[in-house]
Structure formats: structure tokens, C-alpha cells
Structure 1
Amino acid sequence: MAGSTPVIAITVGEPAGIGPEISLLAAWALRHEMRPVLMGDAAYLAMLAQELDRDIRLMGISQQALRNNGLPGCGKDQITVIDCPLNAHVVPGQLDARNGRAVLQTLDLAIESIEQDWCDAMVTAPLQKSTINDAGVAFTGHTEYLAEKTQTKQVVMMLACEANQALLHPLRVALATTHLPLREVADAIQFDALLTTLQIIDQDLRQKFGIAKPRIFVTGLNPHAGENGYLGREEIDVINPVIQQARALGMDVRGAFPADTLFQHKYLKDADCVLAMYHDQGLSVLKHASFGLGVNVTLGLPLIRTSVDHGTALDLAKLGTGLADAGSMKVAMRMAADMVKRQAALIQAS
């Protein structure tokens, strides 16, 4: 950190979507709380900034200058942009595979910036998986890509949101499996991987969220959590034995609960995190309660990464600038900055 100010790398995502817009708006709005460093095409961002708010001031530097001299100083009323040039002109709402590799370059640069101590954490705007695949790069998502690039054997995807009108308390939902076809989920739920998932959640809730003794509630895979084997045996054969082992290791893990009844206040008020077995089982509930205010957090990485809870919104971008809501991006940036401060305090105390 630069003094007590977290330095946050922000990858602006798919250029034809709302990512560049919400990145600019959130960075400008929060520039006095942290130091945002945008990673994207400097010329395109400068043009977009003038359309959004003529008060926005950007300072562009090249990747080579960053590598030669590190991150330069910057005033509170100026946002640094590390230039990652695009290969094709941007038409809002219209995907172009020629820009797919440039989008990936922003992720690589954000990782490098953290490893080199130029930045403290990264926040990612939404990207379009199809564009990257069409560019000739096999890509399933941010979570898997960051795990591969940091040589992390296993990571956990978690979405988090604060209390709001629909929620009486904060809600965090982690996933045992991420972007898998539904027919592959049951085979992917294995003892060792599920136990490691619980260990990652427990550790990061302590270190990154400051929760001294995390309480983790686990859903079943099947309707009614298998109903004693009549509706499936995954709970009996894998999930419940993993929960018992996690308890034996000192973790406060409870379940397996039927997913259709777990997401109620009377249960969730006692949970610091819910571990759902697959993507839509847990995230449908969270996004219904907090869409646009949630944060995607990758647990288990050797760095801090948060993201928005929504996609590229190509249809909205096509309508013009000034329509996108930067709320989720602001929450993601604040959560990343809080994690940086919390980890710094832990290091200082140790």
C-alpha cells in the first residue's frame, strides 16, 4: 500500500460492454478512498471519459514504463491508466474477436502488478468468454484463468452482498463446483476436493474477512438433501462425511441442508457463508436478493481478487453511454480495499 491507501488494479473487461464505463465511473467516484489503476486501452478510455464526465482526468502510461520505473505518483484528482491497446475499433454492443487477446492481457498485467508490488489487489469488470474463445484461447472464466496463471491448484468462487431491503444480514455463497454442465456436477463432488474447498473458505473468511470462527452451512446436492438416500446418495457417500471430517479438523461446518429451505433468515442469520454444490443452486438466490450490489470473490488465490456480480450487458452498452450502473463495481472495489487493509493489519500484528 502507498501509506494507508490501497492500490487497486482494475481490469476494464470486454470493451464492447459496460465494463469500461463502470470502471471509469467507480474509479473516479472512489479515488479519494483508494488509488484505482485502470488497465485497458488508454485512448478508448480517454474518449469514453469525456463522454461520461468531462471532469474525469486520466494519466496514461505504457506497460514498458511501468516495468522500467514502477507505478508513478498520481494526484487524487487523476486516475492512472496502464495502456493495453486493443486490436480493433470498438463498436458498443458488438463483439470483436480481434480484441479477445487484449482483454486477457489486462488480466496478466494485473497479476504481474500484484506480484511486483505495484498494486495490492485486483478488481475485474465483466468480460465475454465467447470473444476470448473466438480469439483462439480456451477460456472458461476469470476464476479458472486466475487459478491457472497463479499456479493455484484449487480455488473457490464466492459471491457476497451486504444487508439490504431484501436481506436482513450479509450473505455469502460459495460454490463447490463452478462453470460445469449440470450433468457433470455429481461426478465432480469428490471427498478431497470438497474438504479442500471448506478449508479454503474457512481460511479466507478468517484472513480476508476478519471472521474469527467462521460458520459454514453446506447444502445437499439432491432435493431434500437426498432424503436419506431415496433421492440420491451423494449426501450419504460424500457430503456428510466431508462435513464430519471438517468438524474433526476444528471447523464449524453444518449440514447438509436441503437447498430449497436453507435460504431463510432463521437459518442464514447464523451462517457466515453457505457452500452450495453448483452454480445456479446458490447464485440464483443471492442474485435475486442483491443483483447489482453483489461482489464475486475468488478464494484461495495468493492475491486478492473481486469482481462485479453481473455480465457485460452488451444490449445496454449498445444504447449509449451514461446508462450503466456502477454500483456493483464500487462495492467490489471497496471490498478489495478492505481486504488489503485487513491483511496489512494481520501482518503488522504478527
Structure 2
Amino acid sequence: MNNGITIGITCGDINGVGLETVLKALLIKKVGQQLRLVIYGSTKVIAYHKNIITPENVQFYAISNPQEAQPGRINIINCWSENVNITLGKPTDVSGKCAYLALERAVGDLKAGTIDALVTAPIHKKAMQMAGFPFVGHTEYITEALGGKESLMLLVSDDLRVGLVTNHLPLREVAQAITTQKVLRKILILSETLRVDFNIDKPTIAVLGLNPHAGDEGAIGNEEQTIIRPAIEQAKEQGILAYGPFPADGFFGSGQFRKFDATLAMYHDQGLTPFKTLSFSEGVNYTAGLAAVRTSPDHGTAYDLAGKGEADDTSFIRALFLAADIVRNRNEYIEMRANSLELSKRKTLVSETGEDEDVVDVPEE
């Protein structure tokens, strides 16, 4: 079903658990055998992490570009040639540089279309800054690299989907960053991705408020009345089934989220705290709204587990399969639209030429 799909996988921070989870999934559980998988990193570093989880000899295949990748084997693109120091459990400039190099090469291939999707292993923001990485995180870097004006961080676990209006932003800056146009754009992106990437015909979206109790009609802040509700109304005018703003505190605990296809939160912890409570170790981070597909496990470098062989690979596996599913859904959507357009053209041609129309002879009087 996924034949022909090529997915890139970045090594992430080499001092964390990213490569351990990747190798556990591919070597031990034999996940993704039908896909062409390409790991961006270094054969030496990957071999080091392989030895943490298994003493068995493993055949790695060094390739120079994704077109050389074959399904059912460990294809590796070397992104640096020199030996590097692995310091498990700590952020270093070396681990940041390696993660940066792998990400840069992988995103270049994603942009060129030589891979269909990208799964990024976790990075450490401090290590990336030490290496000169000028972005807050993966999402911001990939959005700019792919020429996107705006993307949406979307957390996914089965039927639970939570999007964010603001991403990695200090809490004191959140209120100022939220505008009616920004909320509206995020609603539009979320609606489109639910239709195209998740194959939901008429998606419903719940929008959370910013303040406690969604402002209590202006008693505890007025952003709901002056910013968020107008965005929802404008979305409805465009035919989008958006509702709210809902008070965030009881929305997930009461199970109200189950009535909607997705929920839009105003800021990072408002969305991720309930999401991780409900789906810890199973969630996936998807960057919606881009021309290309990018997912990642919903966990960090987990330095405290690095080198112990105890990291859970569930989130990585789900990220891999979600990436493949979205590629397939997008292809089906494009094909469906192409077929609809062709059918529409044929109907127009028949109408204009009169061909294939029933002709009735009228007898002369």
C-alpha cells in the first residue's frame, strides 16, 4: 500500500535517544520494510547507537542520494565525514552541529522532491544554539526552508488532534502575539489539513479561549471577545465548521474534545499538557500547512535515558506511519481532484458542442 514512498529520517541530537528509537523500530521490530527509508547522519555514529541495543552485526548501506535507497534495508546518507565525539546525556556544540548538518541535507532533499516526507528525531535547542542554529526549533526552520508563510504545529494521536496558534513562545509574549488574523489563518490551515491530509470531508474544529474560563464574558480578559470570536465568525463565513471559544480548563477532562475532529489551542502548554496527559509516548508532531510532509516523535532528547537502551520507540513508529499515510492521502486527494476536473471539462465540452445529447425529431405539421 505504501510502495514507492521514500521517507527521510534525521539523526537528531546524537547525544540523546533519537537514533536509539529509530534503530529499535527498524532493526528489532522491522518496521517500515515496505518503505524506502533514508537515515541522515553518519554510519559511524549510527553503528555506535546500534551497539547500545544489539550486539548483532547489521548491514548498513551508505548511499549518496535518496534515489539509491532500497526498501527493507538501512540506507544512510553521510552528512559529515570526520569522527565526532558522542557525549551521551549532554548538549554539546558537536551534537548540535551534527543535528544541524543532517537536518540541512534532509530538508534540501525534501525541498527537491527526492524524498516524499521527513521524520525528524529530537534535537536539543541549547545544543542547536551552540552550533549556530538561528531558529527556535524544527518547525520554524522547515517552514522557512520550504518557503511557507505560515505553518501549524499539530499534535496527533489516533483521533486526538491539537493545533497551536503560537508555538515556542515565552508565556509573557503570548497575548500580544495572538491576533484575529493569526487565529483565522491557523483555523484555515487546520481545516485544510484535516480535509487533505487526514481525509475528513467536513471537519469540525473547536477553538479554545486564552484566559481562564474563556474570559467569563470579559470579566477575566477580553481577548475572547475582541480577537478569538471574530476569527471564528470569519472562518464560518468561509464555510468552515469552527466553534468556540471554549474554556480550556475542563475541555479535555470532560471529554468535550471528542465531539470535534481537532482542537485549536492558543499556546504551547495549553495544548500540549492535556495532549501528553492523554497520549504520552504515543503522540506525533506534524507540521501542517506546508507543501511537503514532516512529522516527528512527540518527545525530546531524553538525555536521562541516553545510552541505557530503555527509550520507547512507539512515538517514532507512529510518526513514520503518519508520514506515509499523509503522503498517500495527499496523492489520493490530488488524483481525485484531477479526475473531477477532467469530468467537469468533459461535461462543459458536451454542453458546448451538443454531442451526446438526446435529439428528438419533431414531425412536420
Does the pair score TM above 0.5? yes
What CA deviation, in whole Å up to 9, does each residue of 1:38-78 have, x standing for no partner? 111211102322442326432112xxx32xxx5214252x2
**269-278 or 247-256, which moves further after superposition?**
269-278
> What is the deviation of 1:225?
0.5
| Structure 2 unmatched runs, 5+ | 339-365
Partner residue of 2:325?
338
* 1:71 counterpart = 2:67: yes
Kindly indicate whether residue 245 of structure 2 is the aligned counterpart of residue 246 of structure 1: no
Structure 2 SS opposite 1:123:
strand
Moved more, 189-198 or 44-53: 44-53
The answer to whether the 8 Å contact 2:36/2:69 transfers is no
Contact 2:208–2:248 under 8 Å retained in 1: yes
Structure 1: gaps spanning 5 or more residues: 163-169
Q: 1:100 aligns with which of 96, 100, 107?
A: 96
1:27 Cα offset (Å): 3.0
1:58 maps onto 2:60 in alignment: yes
User: What corresponds to 2:43 in structure 1?
Assistant: 42
TM-score, scaled relative to structure 2: 0.87
- Determine the C-alpha separation between the residues in 2 that align with 1:257 and 1:31: 39
State the 1:297 CA deviation. 0.5
Q: What amino acid is aligned across from residue 327 of structure 2 in structure 1?
A: V
**2:293: which partner in 1?**
304
Q: CA contact under 8 A between 2:38 and 2:69: conserved in structure 1?
A: no
CA distance 1:293–1:216, change in 2 (3 Å): same
Aligned to 2:354: none
Task: Classify 1:101/1:271 alpha carbon distance in 2 versus 1 (closer, same or farther; 3 Å).
Answer: same
* Identity across the alignment (%): 39
Structure 2 CA distance, aligned partners of 1:114 and 1:248?
35
Q: Determine if the alignment matches structure 1 residue 135 to structure 2 residue 131.
A: yes
Q: Secondary structure at the match of 1:152?
A: coil
1:165 match: none
Q: Report whether the alignment pairs 1:11 with 2:10.
A: yes
Q: More displaced, 280-289 or 88-97?
A: 88-97
Distance across 2 between alignment mates of 1:324 and 1:309: 13
The alpha-carbon deviation at position 236 of structure 1 amounts to 0.6
Counterpart for residue 78 of structure 2: 83
**Which residue of 103, 107, 113 corresponds with 2:109?**
113
2:212 is the alignment partner of 1:214: no
Q: Which amino acid aligns with 1:202?
A: S
Partner of 2:19: 20
Matched residue SS, 2:250:
helix
TM-score in terms of structure 1 length:
0.91
How far apart, CA to CA, are the structure 2 residues paired with 1:42 and 1:84?
10
